[in-house]
Amino acid sequence: MIGRPPRRTLVLGGARSGKSRYAEELLFRARQVEYVACGLPADDGDPEWADRVALHQERRPGSWRTVETVDLVAELGRPGPPVLLDCLSTWLARVMDDCGIWTEDDGADERLARAVDDVVSAWSGTRRRVVAVSNEVGSGVVPATVSGRRYRDELGILNARIAAASQRVFLLTAGLPQRLK
C-alpha cells in the first residue's frame, strides 16, 4: 500500500545523540503508542535514572501508554497500537543479568542466545508498527574490562540482527538523523 509507514524501524546512536527523541518523532502522529521502557524502573533507587525517565515521560503525549517490561516477545507478539522500544541496550543489559552471564552460571550463554533469538524472531514477525532505539557500539571506545567488551560485542550482534530485519535504520549523530537503510 502506497504511503503506509514501514513496520520495523531501528534508531541507533551514541549516548545523548538524540536517538530517543527522534524515535518519538517518528511515531508522534499516531493517536496511541505503547512506549515500552526496557530499562530499570524509575523507582529503582537511582535518582539520576529517575530524572531521565521523568524527562522522557514529560515530552510524550498523554495518549501514550508506558509499559515497563523486558518481555519484548510478548509485546511484539500481540496486536495493538504502534510500539516504541526504548531501548534495546538496556534490555540486553537486564537480560544478560537475568541469564547469569556476569556470575558465569551454567547455561548462561545458551539462555542469552535463546533470548536474543526469540526477540529477533518476534521483531521479524510482528504485525505491529514498531520503532526500536539502541546504542551504536561500533565507533565507541573499546571497554577496558572483559565484561564491558562482552556487553559491547553482544549489543553489536543484536543491533546487526535487528537492523537486518528492519525496513528502515537511522543513525543519530549530534541530533542529526542519517538514514542507513
Q: Mind listing the pLDDT tens digit for each residue in 16-32?
A: 899 999 999 999 889 99
Per the structure block, which three cell numbers stand in for 81?
497500537
What is the per-residue pLDDT for 2? 54
Say yes or no to pLDDT of 6 above 90: no
More confident residue, 55 or 130: 130
Lowest mean pLDDT among 12-16, 78-82, 123-127, 130-134: 12-16
Residues marked active site are found at 56
Neighbour-count burial for 26-37, b at 16+ CB within 10 Å, e otherwise: bbeebeebbbbb
Burial of 174 (0-12, 13-18, 19+ CB in 10 A): exposed
What is the per-residue pLDDT for 91? 96
Task: Tell me the whole-structure pTM to 2 decimals.
Answer: 0.90
pLDDT per residue as tens digits for the range 45-101: 777 766 766 777 777 778 889 888 999 999 999 999 999 999 999 999 999 999 999
Say yes or no to pLDDT of 1 above 50: no
Length of the chain: 181
> CA separation (Å) from 83 to 4, 55, 132?
16, 19, 8
Domain 8-179 fold = Rossmann fold (3.40.50)
Can you tell me the distance from the alpha carbon of 158 to that of 16, in angstroms, rounded to the nearest whole number?
20
| % the chain with pLDDT above 90 | 71
